[in-house]
Structure 1
Amino acid sequence: MTTLLRRTLPVLLGCLLWAAAAAAVTVRLDPSFQTVDPGMTGAISMVTDEAVAIRTAEITLEVDPAILTTMTCTPGAVFDGVSCFIWEESEELSTGVWHGFAVIIGSTCQTAGPGELLHWEFTTGAEGVSPVTSVEVKLYSPDGLLIPDVTVDAPAAVQVGDVSDVPALAAAGLALAPNPFNPAVTLSVDDAAAGPARLLVLDARGRRVATAWSGTLSGGPAAFTWRGQDDGGRDAPSGTYHFVLLTHGSAPRTARGALVR
């Protein structure tokens, strides 16, 4: 037993020390919101702001297949300059569910954040707003070990066409009060899905004004407040605003209200 412990203890201690040293890593989808004309192409990136060494980046995304019809994944900018072979692949696992990865083949090579890990290009179809949500994300260390606690901070969204003409952005699923409002408004939902979420504020032309809230929902009732300011802290002008709540695995919840100053 003593001999067995002498042989296995260093390995166990090494694994424990690596796990303790591997801090949680957050990645994000960038841009969090964009507008693309019907029939055109666009791009969205998986990015980390953290200094993490990796050999492999992998993610599975879910989109509205009627709005985003095809998606192709390639290695992000952090893989530029890697001298070893990079194996890249993307495929549609099921309707609207896309899997992509980039793997460095060669034990002498690695890359690291911060920066773009994966680059997705998509083509657009029908007009509307498609959430882009992460089903699963994985990063592997230069030693080929799965890095624990890798999460995506919140869903993103792609709007195809003019929001004022998109039936999908008719008020649906979000309660809004008061309406009209000046300057603050509260938005609420009775049955929000658990997981990462983001509440976007768009102007009447579909341009993003602010991210009113971003975080993780526990599921069930939830309420959010927008105080009538853009992301820079400037007062938004009077007008009609659209609110889009993006949650994991469910359709966008939307509301529309008027800011009157």
Structure 2
Amino acid sequence: MTETKSRADHDEAPAEDDPKSGADIAFPYDRMTVEQFRKRFPRARWNDARKAWFVPGRTASRRIGRWLAELEAEADAHADAKGRDAFTFDPIDSPYLELGKAGFRIRTPYSKTVVDELRQVPFSRWDGDLRIWHVPFRSYEDLRRRWPEIEAAARRNEPEERRRRAEERKGTEQEIRSRLRSAERKRHRYPLPSDDLPPIGRPVAVAYGIVVLTEISGELVDPDVVADFYPGVTEDHVWGHWRVPTLEELVRTWPAKMPSG
């Protein structure tokens, strides 16, 4: 099951009954699950364009999260019991983890490593309202195996630790290169192969993540100047300018059917 917030959730606090506020949820069709869902959310409506259910209300995301947590707890009670027993026998002692009713609640400083690791844990999910990760008891063994990497990354990204590393980097070649990379990214340009140009106005994946190209200037790239920022760039590349995609563009984006060459 997947849950995504609607774009209205990012606007200023709408009223509870504002039809524009709410959240989407999609799950494989199952008659019993749909009946439970409709009973829990009688105001939900199916959105054929998004292939998802829309639940209105400012607290829709939180209510959906609670419902999903309940379903997860009911799905495999035996596995949850085994995970709870495993935690009791060999607990994780960490300030970033605490017990919840249906599993573990994980709150850490932001780290891409933490996000990547937790996404690999089965049944884990992010609660955007509370800004914590939920992991059910049944996934304890996977969480236990990945926890050293998670905790190490979390400690590296504590504000005090980041400030200490920044002080140590001041004036070093590493800091200078970091500033140059940051300045290059702020130019919102990217080298593109002239013989295989991506589409304009559609989300595409580049080294910076998912972006939307707005213009291809045709200006040739000078590899001697930007080779440090874009490994593999050649004289046959041209500059394209990009922007950050909107939430609606991301929701409507699907992976390419054919892998990139």
TM-score, structure 1 as length reference: 0.23
Q: Which has the higher strand share?
A: 1
TM-score (normalised: structure 2): 0.23
From the two aligned structures, give the one with the greater helix fraction: 2
* Higher-RCO chain (CA-CA 8 Å, sequence separation at least 6): 1
